[in-house]
Amino acid sequence: MDDIQLSIKTEVRVRFSEVDTLRIVWHGNYIKYLEDGREEFGRKYGLSYLDYINNNLLTPIVKVNIDYKYPLYYGDKAIIETTYVYTEAAKIIFDYKIFRASDNMLVATANTIQVFLNMERELLLTTPRFFEAWKRKWGFIM
């Protein structure tokens, strides 16, 4: 699994509504950038929220970890690099790197973990068939 890597870069512009009075991106808005990265990843690789819903799955975030290194400011462009992390467990893990586009400065790193629920909101302890098929399609399992 170490040689297989699915990743995508997504560019976003820092909007006025995302900054505080110092024109610095408020820390909670980085979670929205992670969401932007996951949505773009899903569109490219067939793992979007609509794909989950169409397969009667919900995928809530259960853990977020963000390491803030440098600030982003109003008007900056950010590049979110979203990478799928393989695990045998019934969960979805992504790693992220957020760069300031103007100088390619790494401004944050992050990690999210999502679990699977059925439509009755019950936790699934085994990998759903849809996700197993997705992993097989991309060569993570045989």
- Distance, CA of 43 to CA of 18 (rounded, Å): 24
Q: What are 69's two structure tokens?
A: 């290194």
- Report the pLDDT value the prediction gives residue 30, as an integer from 0 to 100: 97
pLDDT in tens, 15-45: 999 999 999 999 999 999 999 999 999 999 9
Q: What are 57's two structure tokens?
A: 């799955």
- Report the pLDDT value the prediction gives residue 63, as an integer from 0 to 100: 98
- Report the pLDDT value the prediction gives residue 4, as an integer from 0 to 100: 79
- Distance, CA of 109 to CA of 65 (rounded, Å): 8
Q: What are 122's two structure tokens?
A: 């019950």
Average confidence (pLDDT) over 97-110:
98
Residue 59: φ, ψ to 5°: -135, 70
Q: Which CATH class is domain 7-134?
A: alpha beta
Average confidence (pLDDT) over 52-69:
97
Write the CB contacts of 52 (distance below 8 Å, at least 6 apart in sequence).
58, 59, 130
| Amino acid identity for residue 112 in this structure | T
| pLDDT exceeds 70 at position 2 | no
| Sequence ranges of the domains in the chain | 7-134
- Distance, CA of 136 to CA of 1 (rounded, Å): 11
DSSP symbol at 126: S
- Report the pLDDT value the prediction gives residue 8, as an integer from 0 to 100: 97
Average confidence (pLDDT) over 132-140:
95
